[in-house]
Structure 1
Amino acid sequence: MKLSEVESRMQKAVEAAQRDFNTIRTGRASGSLLDRVMVEYYGTPTPLKSLANVATPDASTITIQPFDRTSLNLIEKSISLSDIGLTPSNDGSLIRLNIPPLTSERRKELVKTVSKLAEEGKVAIRNIRRDAVDSVRKEEKNSEISKDEALDRQDAIQKLTDRYTHKIDELLANKEKEISTV
């Protein structure tokens, strides 16, 4: 496994962690809260953003306007069943989600959730490291590379792992600050 491939996979793990962080609400309305919501549309799970226009007219409201009005009830049901913890309000042509201010208890819960997501991102990076180191050891065992070269590659892989783990830690710190800010 090439070092550039390892770095690319680690970068993708950081980006996935960032996307997960974006789905956690911070007391302000954001369309990214709905990124994980899937709607059963004609028997196929479809991302909400493919079925409707999602907008944030103000800091505490998200509006969802379906492209196909017949999907309005399906979208409302999917949001109700999702884990975002918001109750949709349907006026016949538009769905509104009011974002209540976060309580200190809820903020603590969200910080724990974000910490868990960050740990999952770090685990993904460590799994990539393990695969890369195993690949290097296999090459050394098959006498494709020398012992010194294997150690150099393992050291480079560890440095990449440290760098990308640190990036996730930075993302976590930023998100925790964002959640804690009243």
Structure 2
Amino acid sequence: MDEITLEAKEQMQKTIESLKNELSTLRTGRASPAMLDRVECDYYGDKMFIKDICSISSPEPRQLVVKPYDRGDIKSVAAGISASNLGLNPMVEGDCIRLIIPALTEDTRRDLAKKAKATAESNKVAVRNIRREYIDLVKDSDEMTDDYKKRIQDEIQKVVDEMIAEIDSIVSSKEKEIMAI
């Protein structure tokens, strides 16, 4: 593969990593520590992510246990979880917080599946924009022959097709996970 194609592929891979991170925060019927990745709380006057100041474990499929490293932060962590839009009700038990993940209703499952599809679609658009950017770069180059330009464009298109297929695969498995009861 050409250097330009490799650069394009690297940028597209970053888009896919972004998609995976975004989808990991979507709530499913199972408890996942990644659900709390973007939840913030007050930490001595600053906003901090809960994942940075607590250990998060999943002892059971529908339960999370959040243990702040500093016991004094337990109330602010519980308040941060309550304030998040995850619909979780934190129960403080001594030095930890228990979160019972409620079962999702059919409507909620459909909404989450739609959100996953929309996220995937926006990432596909990002991949296509990267393709356009690199193809324009190749077309504007005076140093390459027309045959070479065409070959690189074809390589970039193959990479785009692979990335779109990977995005479809990722979102399909996430939808199955969301729709599973």
State the 1:6 CA deviation. Answer: 0.9
Which residue of 65, 88, 103 corresponds with 2:67?
65
| 1:176 counterpart residue number | 175
| 2:140 counterpart residue number | 138
Number of equivalent positions: 179
What are the superposed Cα offsets for residues 9-61 of structure 1, whole Å, 9 maximum, x if unpaired? 11121121112111112111111111111233234332211100101111111
- The separation in 2 between residues aligned to 1:147 and 1:120, in whole angstroms, is 32
Aligned residue identity for 2:155? A
**Is the 8 Å Cα contact of residues 57 and 64 (structure 2) preserved in structure 1?**
yes
**Is the 8 Å Cα contact of residues 58 and 65 (structure 2) preserved in structure 1?**
yes
Matches within 5 A, 1:23-172: 23-139=25-141, 143-172=142-171
- The separation in 1 between residues aligned to 2:145 and 2:44, in whole angstroms, is 58
- The separation in 1 between residues aligned to 2:76 and 2:143, in whole angstroms, is 57
- The separation in 2 between residues aligned to 1:127 and 1:73, in whole angstroms, is 44
Aligned residue identity for 1:105? D
Segments of structure 1 that go 5 or more residues without pairing to the other structure are none
Segments of structure 2 that go 5 or more residues without pairing to the other structure are none
TM-score by length of 2: 0.92
TM-score by length of 1: 0.91
Moved over 4 A (4+): none
- The separation in 2 between residues aligned to 1:19 and 1:61, in whole angstroms, is 21
- The separation in 2 between residues aligned to 1:9 and 1:36, in whole angstroms, is 23
- The separation in 2 between residues aligned to 1:45 and 1:173, in whole angstroms, is 34
- The separation in 1 between residues aligned to 2:53 and 2:66, in whole angstroms, is 9
Report % sequence identity: 38
Aligned residue identity for 2:139? R
